Every structure is written in structure tokens, then in C-alpha cells.
Amino acid sequence: MEKRKLKNSELDRKSAEEFKAAEKTPIIVILDNVRSLNNIGSIFRTADAFLIEKIYLCGITATPPHKDIQKTALGATETVAWEYAEDVLALVEKLKAKDMKIFSVEQAENATFLNEFMPEAAAKYVFVFGNEVKGVQQKIVSASDGVLEIPQLGSKHSLNIAVSAGVVLWDVFSKIKFSHR
């Protein structure tokens, strides 16, 4: 059986208008004081891939347009809805009041391992990803409905935030879209 790479023209890509009109995955991402512009852009691109509803950029997290965000986002800042919110705790409380389920992605006591997490059918989820060095702020972890941890078996127990976002968003997206509950 031949294995031929597909050409870009064969990928059935959505236009920006088609993306905006498409049914979104009921997931919102919060970036809590993320420093790296490349990480921000990578997370936008991942959010585009999985039709994520929205990204909130909080605290010191930079906002588009910026050439270093665009370098890794490859235009995803034009498709994925985003908003800046300076106060991440106020945002978390506002989203909780709308019955959204808030999960910090962090290594913490009583965290749920990602592989054991099963999203509820009708729920809308918010995943908070933190600063590259300090992680998600403790006050946000405390205000969350739960904490998700990516199981790691190596010696570092540390993933880049863009990698963490990719792992979590793919896992939850696939459980929502492809699981046969």
C-alpha cells in the first residue's frame, strides 16, 4: 500500500469564515501569565486544530498582533476567538458563575491524572495553563473545580506549556468528539 504525503490542497482546510461558523468544541483556554510569545502562538495553532471556543490571555500574557506570536500561530489568531483579561481570578469567578467547569493544569495534591479524566457530555470546560516557570498561580488552583495532571514517568516531570496544552486539548477533544459513551 502506497503512503503518499498529502498536499496542502488536499487537507480540506476551513477558511477563516468557515472556522468561525463551525460548531466549536466546548473548551475555553486561559493562559495565566505566559511569557513566551512562541508558546502563545503555538497554543493558538493547537486551539485552531481542535476548534477550541476561545482563549483568554491574562496578566503578562502578550496579545496579538505580534510578529513572534504570528510566527508560530500561522494565522490562528485570526480564526480562534480571544480576549485579554488582566485579572485571571476575576475571570475564573465570572466563568464559574456561568456554570463552566474550571480545571487548572498543574501538578498538585489530589490532582486527577489526565488519562483518568472523563468529560461530562453537556459540560463546558475551562483549562488554565500557567507561567513557564511558576505554573498556575496557587490562588487560581484553589479557585478551580479541579486540577488535571499529565502523568509523566521520566526524570524531569516538566513539559513545555505549549506541549502541555497540546496534550490536554487533544486528549479532551478526542474524548468529547470520538468516545462512544
Q: What is the pTM of this model?
A: 0.95
Q: Tell me the mean pLDDT per 10 residues along the chain, length 181.
A: 91 91 96 98 98 98 96 95 98 98 97 97 96 97 98 93 98 90 50
Which stretches does DSSP call E strand in the chain? Answer: 25-32, 52-58, 81-85, 101-105, 112-113, 125-130, 146-149
> Is 10 among the domain residues?
no
Which cell numbers hold the place of 169? 486539548
> Is 11 among the domain residues?
no
> Is 87 among the domain residues?
yes
- DSSP for 56-86, written as a single string: EEETT---SS-HHHHHHHTTGGGTSEEEEES
Number of domains in the chain: 1
Domain CATH number, residue 89: 3.40.1280.10
d(CA 108, CA 104): 9
Cα torsion through 163, 168, 171, 174, rounded to 10: -100
- pLDDT reported for residue 138: 98
- pLDDT reported for residue 79: 96
Q: Is 29 helix (H, G, I), strand (E, B) or coil?
A: strand
Does residue 159 contact residue 167 with C-beta atoms inside 8 Å?
yes
Could you give the count of Cα atoms lying within 13 Å of 65 in the half-sphere of its Cβ? 4
